[in-house]
Amino acid sequence: MSARLAGLFTEIDPPSLANPTLNFLKQYWDGKRGARAMPCRADIRPAEMKEHLGSVVLVDVLPGFEDFRYRTVGTKVTRYMMGGATGKTVREVFARYGEAAVNGTLATYRKCARDRAIVHAWGGTEWLGHDFLDFDSLYLPLSDDGRDVNMVLSAVTFEPAGQVKAKK
């Protein structure tokens, strides 16, 4: 059995999001996809989400969903958890936090990409060595052909510990 992270929660396709950045990104993604299952990367315009760019992360899906490569990492995310992640894979970035961190992060991206699902994840950041922070995140699939997910658009926000409550 592989190591797991405690105190983290996920839900698929949340009906609403209290976090303003995550709510904005979900509404933006919905607007860009229109009648399609999901938008493509070309639909996403950074200038249209200026206020939230510091929390935005964009990853490339690697073959077989074996890993994901960070293409863009917002400044707030870089500051709190992923300094120097651009161009690296999830395995490379999270290895320093242990097997559970790698597996948990990969599982979230895989769920989004493989199932073409919106994934909401939240919890504490003790596993990152930040026991004073909680995170709240959203993962949205992107597809150039409307069928296969080739990128994941996400946002990660941080609050003082105790602010992001367990929702279930």
Identify the pLDDT of residue 100: 85
Question: What is the mean pLDDT, run by run of 10 residues, along the chain of 168 residues?
Answer: 62 92 96 95 95 96 96 89 85 89 92 97 72 86 96 91 55
- The residues with which 152 forms a beta bridge, in sequence order, are 59, 141
Identify the pLDDT of residue 159: 81
Identify the pLDDT of residue 168: 37
**CA distance linking residue 46 with residue 165, whole number of Å:** 29
Task: Give which of 157, 108, 167, 154 is closest to 135, Cα–Cα.
Answer: 157
Q: In the chain, count of helices (H) and strands (E)?
A: 4, 6
Set out the domains of the chain in order of their start, with CATH numbers.
Answer: 8-160 (3.30.450.20)
Q: What contacts 85, CB < 8 A, 6 or more positions away? A: 70, 73, 78, 93
